[in-house]
């Protein structure tokens, strides 16, 4: 699909009224684009499609709804979507969990291209700033054919704005404040273009103090299995500082187009831990991610298109076990200081062919080389990953039918040298000359189809296989992981994960309502997880921490997702999102670890007429109900807290209320967008099952948030 077509698609999707509303002559009220945006650019490489049309289950966050949801945490920003949850560590770190999968099973894309943020860590967050994106697309379910092995559970595509060819200078200034952690954000975007040349840039900074939780009673440490927290009120060592910037340039002619982008993301973070005396213990981190992308489209005769692309990623992680980031430089260069550098190069060559018979499609070749260097510390060794793949994607339209079919062959090798800093892993017996090099290969495929039953109803179904080779960390880790206070051990004998997914979706769309109901099952052979061995290790700070080791089982995840958006009249509308999910270890007849709890989200909107210069006003009342969830025994990270005299691993059901307001003000030629919200209105004390701080504190308390965006 050409860049010009994508640009047109995005301009349609980003309008104040969706293409659906325009077609059906709806009253021109702002449309909630998180439910229904006009097009998706992630579900097919050869066509843009309406979201209701494609077989895959897709949500897009864009426009004013993106502004209202924006956060420094990508997981928090997306958790309102059906089938998406947030694996959190306070306000700074949040990983999207898609249908019970996260980390190396959900691929985070930047402009459709691969990223690498060392996703193996429970608290390792995607190295992106959502503010710098124009839109974010989430596809639930395996996308391995198009996006490779790390897309078993789905993808999250963080998409920057199209380059502004032929546009005069324009931009945006942004500001945000959150009362709970005294978090401030400042940002700006700017772009300008001629007919053949365009440039754009963006910058954002976000800094925060410690977050706060409700002042409930605390555990005394004298009552067996007391589930009360250790820390309430101001939670220490949870502050952070983030800075992100990007720049993009492009050139286009009749022969095609070329675009070059660079993005840098910097973060200083503190994480809270505890020592043997239940006192607060800091774990500081300094992260830097540099990403350079080059994309070319070359139009040939007879509608053939050649699409080469290249991405270089440099991801640096420095971490301390017992010092905050403000003073962690004291330990730099010592065995106590983790200094890990990842360099990755991804090359893709795709050939889009014109319609042949009924099908139009793309043949592609993917190459990826990753070098991980352990410069000091332990945890995970120096190693190399090499991936090679070829794929074919085809698409056909038959009256009411849309059919998508694909096939892919992947080959991957992982190798860790036995010398240098890796000798410590060899001496521990983590790996040796017999298992320090592993090779994996597999064929995968997908078949999806949607059928338009009539003007309102659509039925969609997907069958797909997925594949994921074990990561360097899962194979060869061996050391203390300060961010989660655990000693983690790899398993060099792991097999590759393979999955078989089926889903069936019924969709209904009228001028006033949109509904999606989806059932799915994803069976995974050789499912990799970190098991709590029951042993403890003395940490470098002299405290006992649990030992966890990579293990495998066969698993199945079943789920049901339901969403409904209804416009009652010109002023009133509502959203409903429901998720039921169950993950089972079918070999050991128990639950899978880190499965989201069942949940329901309801929102009621009131959109009054314009008043005193305020346009597109929207008042929101929201309710989030989450069911109780039990930890999966020793298979569950943080499971030890169910047996300690403080904290918890299993969690109770809870309900949280939220309020929101949005409006726009026209100032001469500028538009000022405003948003205000109150999260956790009643300052409810609760613990979410995917909160990785649940062993010693609560989820965040009441937060007042203010946002402003000035377009110029």
Q: How far is CA 61 from CA 33, 503, 571, in A?
A: 6, 23, 22
Report if residue 426 sits inside a domain.
no
For residue 267, what are the β-bridge partners? 242, 287
Round to whole Å and give the CA distance between 98 and 155.
8
Hey, what are 386's tokens? 């090499």
Q: Give residue 510's pLDDT band: very low, low, confident or very high (50, 70, 90).
A: very high
pLDDT tens for 424-437 read 999 999 999 999 99
Round to whole Å and give the CA distance between 269 and 240.
4
Hey, what are 149's tokens? 């092995």
Round to whole Å and give the CA distance between 291 and 246.
9
Residue among 317, 237, 318 nearest 282 (CA): 237
Is residue 616's pLDDT more than 80?
yes
Greater pLDDT, 585 or 121: 585
Query: What is residue 13's predicted lDDT score, i.e. its pLDDT?
Result: 39
Round to whole Å and give the CA distance between 712 and 698.
41
Query: What is residue 612's predicted lDDT score, i.e. its pLDDT?
Result: 87
Q: How far is CA 496 from CA 149, 468, 471, 507, 639, in A?
A: 10, 6, 10, 35, 26
Residue among 421, 414, 529 nearest 479 (CA): 421
Query: What is residue 1's predicted lDDT score, i.e. its pLDDT?
Result: 57
Q: How far is CA 527 from CA 66, 114, 496, 605, in A?
A: 34, 23, 8, 42
Round to whole Å and give the CA distance between 142 and 239.
35
pLDDT tens for 60-93 read 999 999 999 999 999 999 999 999 999 999 998 8
Query: What is residue 38's predicted lDDT score, i.e. its pLDDT?
Result: 53
3-state secondary structure of 52: coil
Mean per-residue pLDDT, 244-272: 97
Is residue 390's pLDDT more than 90?
yes
Is residue 163's pLDDT more than 80?
yes
3-state secondary structure of 292: strand
Report if residue 420 sits inside a domain.
no
Mean per-residue pLDDT, 689-705: 97
Round to whole Å and give the CA distance between 3 and 112.
12
Mean per-residue pLDDT, 434-450: 96
Round to whole Å and give the CA distance between 431 and 475.
9
422 in Cβ contact with 380 (< 8 Å): no
Lowest mean pLDDT among 1-10, 76-85, 681-690: 1-10
Question: CB-based contacts of 367: which residues, under 8 Å, 6+ apart?
Answer: 346, 347, 348, 387, 388, 389
Report if residue 508 sits inside a domain.
yes
Round to whole Å and give the CA distance between 235 and 93.
15
Query: What is residue 30's predicted lDDT score, i.e. its pLDDT?
Result: 39
pLDDT tens for 326-382 read 999 999 988 889 999 999 999 999 999 999 999 999 999 999 999 999 999 989 999
pLDDT tens for 264-276 read 999 999 999 998 8
Query: What is residue 43's predicted lDDT score, i.e. its pLDDT?
Result: 85
Report if residue 447 sits inside a domain.
no
3-state secondary structure of 198: strand
For residue 53, what are the β-bridge partners? none
Round to whole Å and give the CA distance between 54 and 13.
16
Report if residue 589 sits inside a domain.
yes
404 in Cβ contact with 446 (< 8 Å): yes
Cβ atoms within 10 A of the Cβ of 429, count? Answer: 9
479 in Cβ contact with 473 (< 8 Å): no
pLDDT tens for 266-312 read 999 999 999 888 999 999 999 999 999 999 999 999 999 999 999 99
Show the domain range for 338: 57-401+454-711
Hey, what are 580's tokens? 């039921």
pLDDT tens for 470-507 read 999 999 999 888 767 889 999 999 999 999 999 999 99
Q: How far is CA 167 from CA 14, 80, 252, 671, in A?
A: 16, 34, 14, 17
Q: In sequence order, what DSSP letters do the residues of 377-428 get, joined into one string? A: SSSS--EEEEEEEEEEEEEEEETTEEEEEEEEEEEEEEE--SSGGGHHHHHH
Mean per-residue pLDDT, 4-33: 37
Is residue 37's pLDDT more than 60?
no
Give the rounded percent of residues in the chain with a pLDDT score beyond 70.
95
Please give the tally of structural domains in the chain. 1
Round to whole Å and give the CA distance between 233 and 247.
40
Give the rounded percent of residues in the chain with a pLDDT score beyond 90.
81
Which residue bears the tokens 């509308």?
573
Round to whole Å and give the CA distance between 117 and 107.
10
Lowest mean pLDDT among 23-32, 471-480, 624-633, 664-673: 23-32
Three-class SS string for 72-89? CCHHHHHCCCCCEEEEEE
Query: What is residue 383's predicted lDDT score, i.e. its pLDDT?
Result: 98
Report if residue 26 sits inside a domain.
no
Q: Give residue 150's pLDDT band: very low, low, confident or very high (50, 70, 90).
A: confident
Greater pLDDT, 35 or 229: 229
How many CA atoms does the CB half-sphere of 680 hold within 13 Å?
A: 18
Query: What is residue 399's predicted lDDT score, i.e. its pLDDT?
Result: 92
343 in Cβ contact with 317 (< 8 Å): no
3-state secondary structure of 227: coil
259 in Cβ contact with 249 (< 8 Å): yes
**Local structure of residue 39 (DSSP, 8 states):** -
Query: What is residue 2's predicted lDDT score, i.e. its pLDDT?
Result: 53
3-state secondary structure of 55: coil
Burial class (CB in 10 A: 0-12, 13-18, 19+), 657: middle
pLDDT tens for 91-112 read 988 999 999 999 999 999 999 9
Query: What is residue 400's predicted lDDT score, i.e. its pLDDT?
Result: 94
Residue 256 CA to its chain's centroid (Å): 32
114 in Cβ contact with 98 (< 8 Å): no
Q: What is the CATH number of the domain that holds 685?
A: 2.40.170.20
pLDDT tens for 645-668 read 999 999 999 999 999 999 999 998
Computed over every residue of the chain, the mean pLDDT equals 92
Contacts 24+ apart (CB under 8 A), 217-226: 219/645, 219/646, 219/647, 220/645, 221/278, 221/645, 221/646, 222/645, 223/645, 224/645, 225/642, 225/643, 225/644, 225/645, 226/645, 226/646
Report if residue 618 sits inside a domain.
yes
Query: What is residue 36's predicted lDDT score, i.e. its pLDDT?
Result: 41
Mean per-residue pLDDT, 20-31: 34
Query: What is residue 441's predicted lDDT score, i.e. its pLDDT?
Result: 95
Is residue 7's pLDDT more than 90?
no
Mean per-residue pLDDT, 133-146: 93
pTM for this model (two decimals): 0.92
Report if residue 550 sits inside a domain.
yes
Break the chain down into helix, strand, coil percent, rounded to 5.
10, 55, 35
Query: What is residue 431's predicted lDDT score, i.e. its pLDDT?
Result: 96
Question: CB-based contacts of 402: which residues, under 8 Å, 6+ apart?
Answer: 49, 53, 54, 55, 395, 396, 449, 450
């Amino acid at each position: 699909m050409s860049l010009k077509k994508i640009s047109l698609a995005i301009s349609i999707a980003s309008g104040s009224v969706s293409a659906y509303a325009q077609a059906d002559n709806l009253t021109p009220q702002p449309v909630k684009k998180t439910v229904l945006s006009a097009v998706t650019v992630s579900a097919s490489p050869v066509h843009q499609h309406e979201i209701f049309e494609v077989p895959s289950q897709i949500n897009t966050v864009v426009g004013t709804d993106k502004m209202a949801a924006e956060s420094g945490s990508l997981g928090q920003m997306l958790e309102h979507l059906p089938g998406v949850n947030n694996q959190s560590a306070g306000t700074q770190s949040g990983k999207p969990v898609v249908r019970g999968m996260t980390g190396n099973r959900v691929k985070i894309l930047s402009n459709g291209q691969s990223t690498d943020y060392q996703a193996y860590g429970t608290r390792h967050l995607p190295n992106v700033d959502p503010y710098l994106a124009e839109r974010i697309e989430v596809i639930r379910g395996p996308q391995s054919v198009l996006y490779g092995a790390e897309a078993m559970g789905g993808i999250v595509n963080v998409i920057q704005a199209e380059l502004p060819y032929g546009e005069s200078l324009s931009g945006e200034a942004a500001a945000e404040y959150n009362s709970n952690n005294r978090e401030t954000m400042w940002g700006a975007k700017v772009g300008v273009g001629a007919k053949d040349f365009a440039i754009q840039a963006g910058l954002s900074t976000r800094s925060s103090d410690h977050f706060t939780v409700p002042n409930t009673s605390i555990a005394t440490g004298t009552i067996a299995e007391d589930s009360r927290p250790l820390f309430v009120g101001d939670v220490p060592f949870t502050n952070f500082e983030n800075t992100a910037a990007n720049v993009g340039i492009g050139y286009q002619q009749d022969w095609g187009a070329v675009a070059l982008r660079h993005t840098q993301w910097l973060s200083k973070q503190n994480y809270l831990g505890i020592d043997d005396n239940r006192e607060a213990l800091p774990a500081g981190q300094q992260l830097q991610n540099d990403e350079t992308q080059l994309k070319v489209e070359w139009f040939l005769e007879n509608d053939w298109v050649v699409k080469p692309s290249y991405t270089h990623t440099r991801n640096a992680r420095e971490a301390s076990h017992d010092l905050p980031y403000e003073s962690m430089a004291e330990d730099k260069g010592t065995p106590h200081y983790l200094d890990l550098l990842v360099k990755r190069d991804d090359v893709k060559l795709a050939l889009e062919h014109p319609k042949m018979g009924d099908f139009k499609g793309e043949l592609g070749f993917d190459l990826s080389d990753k070098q991980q260097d352990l410069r000091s510390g332990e945890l995970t060794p120096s190693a190399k990953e090499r991936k090679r793949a070829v794929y074919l994607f085809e698409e056909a339209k038959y009256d009411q039918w849309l059919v998508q079919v694909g096939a892919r062959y992947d080959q991957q090798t992982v190798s860790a040298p036995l010398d240098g800093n890796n000798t410590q892993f060899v001496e521990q017996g983590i790996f040796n000359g017999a298992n320090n090099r592993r090779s994996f290969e597999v064929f995968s495929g997908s078949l999806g189809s949607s059928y338009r039953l009539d003007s309102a109803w659509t039925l969609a179904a997907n069958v797909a296989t997925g594949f994921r080779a074990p990561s360097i960390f899962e194979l060869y880790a061996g050391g203390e992981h300060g961010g989660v206070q655990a000693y983690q051990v790899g398993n060099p004998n792991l097999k590759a994960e393979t999955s078989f997914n089926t889903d069936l979706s019924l969709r209904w769309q009228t001028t006033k309502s949109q509904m999606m109901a989806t059932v799915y099952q994803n069976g995974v052979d050789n499912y990799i997880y970190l098991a709590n061995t029951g042993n403890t290790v003395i940490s470098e700070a002299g405290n006992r921490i649990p030992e966890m080791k990579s293990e495998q089982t066969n698993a199945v995840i079943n789920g049901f997702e339901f969403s409904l958006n209804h416009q009652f009249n010109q002023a009133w509308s509502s959203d409903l999102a429901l998720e039921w999910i169950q993950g089972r270890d079918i070999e050991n007849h128990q639950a899978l670890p880190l499965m989201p709890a069942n949940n329901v989200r309801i929102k009621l909107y009131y959109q009054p007429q314009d008043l005193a210069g305020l346009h597109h006003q929207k008042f929101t009342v929201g309710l989030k109900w989450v069911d109780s969830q039990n930890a999966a025994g020793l298979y569950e990270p943080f499971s030890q807290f169910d047996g300690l005299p403080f904290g918890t691993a299993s969690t109770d059901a809870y309900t949280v209320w939220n309020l929101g307001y949005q409006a726009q003000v026209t100032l001469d030629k500028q538009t000022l967008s405003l948003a205000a919200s109150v999260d956790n209105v009643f300052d409810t004390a609760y613990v979410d099952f995917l909160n990785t701080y649940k062993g010693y504190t609560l989820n965040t308390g009441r937060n007042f948030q203010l946002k402003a965006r000035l377009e110029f």
